[in-house]
Chain A
Amino acid sequence: MVALAQTALNPAVASNKPSLRYLRPPGALPEEDFLSRCIHCGQCGEACPNRCINYFELENGLSSIDTPYIIPREKACILCMKCGDVCPTGAIQQVKYELEDILDKVNMGRAVVDRQLCLSWQGKTCGVCYRACKLPDIAIRVGMLEQPHVLDDCIGCGLCERSCIQIPQAIKILPRQT
């Protein structure tokens, strides 16, 4: 019971739920700062032209109720940075639609490739993740047979995971909070 209450109340514990792998919108502050800033107004979702931002109910603990999240496999962020513009509290920072600013401020997570699942690594030339990436050769690069290599500048928007043709997906975003 005490553990349950702690999980519900403490954001650091709650966000580590193994069953939930979610991203915060691009430019979001680190998790604890984000939660203390966000006023749950829902404007980021209303500004998102891709409708990728969804809202928690109680599944991620009481403190994340009505806060925005992105499940990249369902719908990934297209890095338009509109949510930061409308966020009144700065929980999602304003990020200019420029490469330097995006690389500087956006950290949603990082992609990892499962070489056992990946078609290219298994010898069937694919390269879809590389073509879906908004920052090709900055965040991801392909080698021989289109084998993907995630680079250090990957910001975790999730477009590669969204577009992966393998089921289950061979490339996944590890969210920044885990």
Chain B
Amino acid sequence: MSDVKFISPDTLEQAVDVYSKSSKEGKTKILAGGTDLLVQIRSGISQPDTIIDIKNIKELKEISNDNGSYTIGAAVAGAVLEEEKNFGNNWPGVLEALRLIGSEQIQGRASLGGNLCNASPAGDSVPALIASGATVKVHGPEGERDMPIESFHSGPGKTNLKNGEIVVNFQFPKKQKNSGDAYLRMIPRTEMDIAVVGCAVNVTIENDKCVDARVALGAVAPKALLVEDASKALIGSNFEKEAVEKAALACEAACNPIDDKRGTISYRKKVSKVLFKRALEKAIERAKKG
């Protein structure tokens, strides 16, 4: 531990420069809130020789709203985003997912970018980000690029970031009129727990008809999933029982979970249907309110 180099650059360019030069051995870690990294270091899972603290980089801490389109810095903490009142009105599902991570103390540090890059299949904010249709901007030695959230991960703990790339911010589409999103997770306790199944739903309604829908699942596969068959089942429907059931079955079919100490395959499959229906109900209620 005493030999770790700690760098706290002020600009993205500096950070990328250091990261791209030193990350080849996988010994350099990016530090945002540190709520995952510090635990990993203490338990010996991660033994970095260099830590790059990105909290001094302006873009990563910024929240902006361009005519209804939000851009949220990768290192913005959950408690900070909570205070940005209008964001929660636009994307209540994303905010509630982010706010489920850890305790109140952890919320002062935990960020969307950290949750995404930790790449746990059970990360709470990831399904909500996928359902929102947000994209993530990354900056690397070869410049900037945008990626849809659903293609960010390649497996448990693994991302499609290239060497030296750092997550900068999240860009949310302009919220459609009469749309709403919601995130629910199943945990054995009521808080301070990790999702056994997570489900996010984002729907847009016009004249009682579903005109757009995005459904995402967490903790049921090596990475969070966009369930396109569920979207297809919903779009064009009046959320009638058959359509909802078809979408629920699509969720169940999309699951590719494992048996582990947190839940069985059969449990996760059953619960994915239940959570989808409950999250959908919540999303519809929000959509109808505007």
A and B interact physically: no
